[in-house]
Amino acid sequence: MWTIVHGVTTFFDGLIGLFGSMNPLVGLSVVSVITGGIMLVVWKFTSNQEAIADAKTKIGAYILEIRLFQADLGLQFAAQAKAFRANLKYMSLAVPPMLIVLIPVVIILVQLDVRYQRRPLLPGETTLFKVEVAEGVDPGDVTLTVPDGITVETPPMRMPSVSEVDWRIRADREGEYELTVAVRDAKFTKRVVVGNELTRLSEARDQAGILGVWMSPAEAPLPKNSPVRMICLAYPDREMKLFGVGLHWLLVFFVVSVAFGFAIKGWVGVEV
């Protein structure tokens, strides 16, 4: 499963990498536009277009009936009941394609999340590097080795009550680093990124299952049943601004993708 996830991640690396030297909003907007198109196409081929058009026409007709016959209370109630039923029908027609659309959208959202939610550490910044060990493993047995460019600022902080050992690390120079955690004879690495570039970041590397692998695509999962349950570190939140106004990437994504989808639905001939 990891091979597939990694393939998808590599595709996004390439796509977003095309805009690596530009404002992060550019790459995000392009992916959002593509997503809007994908959503529309998937919707078109997974929904009953004729039935949706029929339901929408009926809803419109019943609303017109409500407006036209305001003096006839009986007709009003009947039209409202029919409009309500048509609405339910419309929604029931929308659910199956929506669920199907959701699958690629979630995959895209996760891929965007690992790139736009956080930013790499900057030189001089510190963060906690945390290792959770499996039951029965003494946190005191865990050691950490860091490459040149990263400094370990504290001795290990061992917390047997929560099976965890932490260090405070400092980023010294820009670059991509592999930090090595050793428990007895087993060794595990964790990628740490320092710099200003737009890249995928993994806050936690754990023993993810099938779903977990899709939700944490930035780094390969730890082997099952290994003595280390999770390795994590916190990256700062990424701040994106447009004309000085802070924007959350999710807002940009939804506005751009939905707006693009609606803008071209007539041209593509899709009934939404």
156 binds other proteins (CB under 8 A): yes
155 binds other proteins (CB under 8 A): yes
| Cβ partners under 8 Å of residue 225, min gap 6 | 134, 207
Stretch that binds other proteins, among 33-41, 81-89, 97-105, 166-174 (CB under 8 A): 166-174
205, with CB counted inside 10 A (0-12, 13-18, 19+), is buried
| Cβ partners under 8 Å of residue 266, min gap 6 | none
170 binds other proteins (CB under 8 A): no
Residue 267 has a CB neighbour count (10 Å cut-off) of: 8
Give dist(CA 6, CA 102) in Å, integer. 20
Q: Closest distance between other proteins and the C-beta of residue 169, in Å?
A: 10
Give dist(CA 116, CA 128) in Å, integer. 21
List helix spans (H) across the chain. Answer: 2-17, 24-46, 49-68, 73-116, 210-215, 249-268
Stretch that binds other proteins, among 32-40, 102-110, 160-168, 219-227 (CB under 8 A): 160-168
Give dist(CA 255, CA 236) in Å, integer. 25
Query: Cβ closer to other proteins: 53 or 128?
Result: 128
166 binds other proteins (CB under 8 A): yes
| Cross-strand partners of 246 | 241
Measured between alpha carbons, how far is residue 154 from residues 83, 96, 148, 215, 266 in Å?
Answer: 67, 53, 16, 31, 61
167 binds other proteins (CB under 8 A): yes
Q: Is-contact 34 112, C-beta < 8 A?
A: no
Q: Which of 6, 168, 229, 238 binds other proteins (CB under 8 A)?
A: 168
248 binds other proteins (CB under 8 A): no
181 binds other proteins (CB under 8 A): no
Query: Cβ closer to other proteins: 25 or 165?
Result: 165
136 binds other proteins (CB under 8 A): no
Q: Which of 85, 89, 158, 265 binds other proteins (CB under 8 A)?
A: 158
Stretch that binds other proteins, among 54-62, 148-156, 220-228, 260-268 (CB under 8 A): 148-156
Tokens 């536009």 belong to 33
- Local structure of 182: helix, strand or coil: strand
| Cross-strand partners of 169 | 127, 152
Stretch that binds other proteins, among 99-107, 163-171, 184-192, 200-208 (CB under 8 A): 163-171
Q: Which of 128, 186, 251, 259 binds other proteins (CB under 8 A)?
A: 128
Q: Which of 92, 145, 154, 196 binds other proteins (CB under 8 A)?
A: 154
Stretch that binds other proteins, among 52-60, 154-162, 176-184, 208-216 (CB under 8 A): 154-162
Q: Closest distance between other proteins and the C-beta of residue 142, in Å?
A: 13
Q: Is-contact 204 229, C-beta < 8 A?
A: no
Q: Is-contact 185 166, C-beta < 8 A?
A: no
242 binds other proteins (CB under 8 A): no
Site residues, other proteins (CB under 8 A): 128, 153-162, 166-168
